[in-house]
Amino acid sequence: MTPVIEVTNLRKIYKVGNEKVYALNNVNLEIYPGEVCCIVGQSGSGKSTLLNQLAGLEKPTTGQVKILGKEISAMTENQLAKFRQENLGFIFQSYNLLPSMTAVENVALPLMFKGVSLQKRTQLAKAALAQMGLSRRANHKPTEMSGGQQQRVGIARAFVSHPKVVFADEPTGNLDSYTTKKVLYQMLSMAYQQGITFIMVTHEPELAACADRVITLLDGVVQSNHLLPVQEIEHNRAELFRELEETQE
């Protein structure tokens, strides 16, 4: 099977005064289609930096990142913007919803950039919100919703255009434990249903336990790249989904 993401000899170096800080140091990875991949590690280990590199949000100092066989680390900003619109979805810790837009308008935004008609993108956005249990919030603005509801709008937006890869940077970091479980349930459900490669920085041991792949970083270096046995993954997912289903409204 061909990897959906390939990382080769990746380094990200920042200058702090006269010192060089290696945020990432010689990272090599392969992530395959449909995998749920969790990036874990202590604060300051380079987790978010790695996610930003994988998503093309930052340029590497050296090395390369390929997604779907395309070297995104060599693309111009315009090429990257087009590639992200066509292939990638993002879920942010701070939700990143536009405050002047309703939930359905926020979710429909990626489809507008793809040239989908207003009628069609509204239809698709409403369907995505319904999957999140937010049909009654479709015409509400972010300030009229709770944090958990806003994050579920963000999830709907990330998945609505059926991207090849979805990236999530600690998307439950601002949520309480009850809402965290609901949001995790929704993200995993959407990824599994659509067969999307899902890459997430997380501190949630429950999610890491049911990921296909767990990448552990320390001081910018990959300490382990662990692929869980299929039977263990299936067991952990069944347990997690059983628990999470009990939290649904």
- Block means of pLDDT (10 residues each) for the chain, length 249 residues? 94 90 94 93 91 92 95 92 92 91 96 92 95 93 93 93 93 80 81 91 78 92 88 77 64
Q: Give the pLDDT score at 186.
A: 81
Q: Give the pLDDT score at 65.
A: 96
- Quote the radius of gyration of the chain (alpha carbons, Å): 18
On whether the CB atoms of residues 142 and 150 are closer than 8 A, the answer is: yes
d(CA 41, CA 51): 13
The pair of three-digit structure tokens given for residue 144, joined into one six-digit string? 């009229």
Hey, what CATH topology would domain 33-60+74-245 get? Rossmann fold (3.40.50)
- Tell me the DSSP string of 193-213: HHT-EEEEE---HHHHHT-SE
The DSSP bridge pattern shows strands 165-169 and 197-201 to be parallel
Q: Give the pLDDT score at 73.
A: 86
Q: Give the pLDDT score at 248.
A: 56
Q: Give the pLDDT score at 247.
A: 58
d(CA 220, CA 50): 8
Q: Give the pLDDT score at 157.
A: 95
Ordered strands of the 88-91 beta sheet: 88-91, 165-169, 197-201, 36-41, 213-218, 221-227
**E strand or H helix at 67:** strand 62-67
Q: Give the pLDDT score at 170.
A: 86
Residues 204, 209, 213, 219: is their CA dihedral positive or negative? positive
